[in-house]
Structure formats: structure tokens, C-alpha cells
Structure 1
């Protein structure tokens, strides 16, 4: 009976020990599950943050592209205005040069006509026997 009592006590102690181990194992499982749930929440939060950052980056990229387009358009307009101003200035200079050239050509034509008229007078005087000339000669 003592043996039986000792055996029952030993079995009882084993069951108690097993129950204790089961309780510890259950606690460990619960602890691991809680840590897994926390990790899952952290991953979801990180994913949400990453999505938010990606959205912000896309928004900033879109804004930067819009600003670059505005800057390019402004630069193109400024370049066009400068080109127009330069073309206008060149046209004005060309007009002035053409006017000056026309005036010089007119003066040269007038001088040539006067010289031709004087030559005709000299020829007429020479034909009539008059020694009076309108032009000076270096041979006399």
C-alpha cells in the first residue's frame, strides 16, 4: 500500500509537473501569439507609412514637374521676347543702313549727273570754239 501510495504520489506529481509544463507552454504560446500579433500590427503600420510616403513622393514629383513646365514655358516666352526685340533692332538698323545707302547713291547720282552736265557744256563750248570750260584740267 505504501508502494501504491508512493506510486500514486509519483504519478500525481508527474501529472502536476505535466500540467505545470502545459501551463508554461500555453503561456509561451500565448506570448508568442501576442508577439506575432504585435509584429503583424507593426508590419501593417510600416506598410501604411510606406504607402503614405509613396503618395507624398508622387505628389512632390508631380509638383516639381509642374514647376519645371512653368519655368520652361516662362523661359521660352522670355527667349521669344528677346528674339523679337533683336529682330526688331536688326530690322531698324537695316532700315537705317538702307536709307543711308540710298542717300549716298542719290548724292553720287547727282554728282555724276552734274559732272555729265558739265562735260556736255565743255563739249558744246569746245565745238563752238569757246575755250571756256566748266572743269579744270591739269594739262593747262
Structure 2
């Protein structure tokens, strides 16, 4: 069993995370439809089909462990929550890859040719960047950076 590293996500903004999740869920539903009908639609770029496959197969369970805590926080009206993940060191590479894939998916959304989903809103994109960077940074030995501190350092 690989050695696990603790990653602490501090002051996660629950409402922003919910909006980001809703957008991501919509994109993943659309990718699921593309996967089901890809061979029936030769106009869909092969790369988009590959992207849909990789996002669904490799990253669909990325945050499974914290789902119950996030659902409870959202239901209680909490505005922020601290989460702790125990992850293998190679999660850092996976986070970088996931960020690149989601950026690529946003490119397809922005083009509007094959996806109905709109490009990720700026607030959700900033959240995604911070969240994924926290895994990369902390696996590399850096201290956690709470959302408000990261946001102050990265204004729109």
C-alpha cells in the first residue's frame, strides 16, 4: 500500500464549491451522452470523445471521501468548511492532469461547436485552480493556503 500524505483544504467556500459542482456535473452529463452516442456522430472530434472518456473513467471519484461532509455543510447553510484528505503522492500528477483536461474541456465549451455546456464561470474556475493546486502544493511539502488567502493573492 502506498504511503499517504495528508492534504488539508482550509476555508473551502461551500456555496462556490456547490456552484462549481453543479457546472461540473452538467459537463460530465454531457460527456456521458457523448460517450454513449459518439460513434453515431462522426462530426464530434475524436479528441473530445477521448477527453470525455478520461474525465469519466479516471477522475469521477476524485473527491468521493468528502462528499458526505460537503453535503452536510451545504444542508446546514455553512459558508465554509475545512476538509482533510489522505492521498498518495501521485495525486499531484493526477491533479495537474485533471486541471489540463478541464481547461481543454472549457475550450470545447467556449467554441460552442459540440457542447451545450457553457464555459466554466470565472469564480468556479478560480475555485478549481485553488483546489487542485492545494493538492500539488501540499504533496510537495508546502503548508495549506486557505481559500481567502489564495483569493486575495489571485484577484480576478
Query: Same fold per TM (> 0.5)?
Result: no
TM bracket, shorter-chain basis: under 0.3
Length-normalised TM-score, structure 2: 0.18
Higher relative contact order (CA 8 A, sep 6+): 2
The structure where helix makes up a greater share of residues is 1
CA radius of gyration, larger in = 1
Length-normalised TM-score, structure 1: 0.20
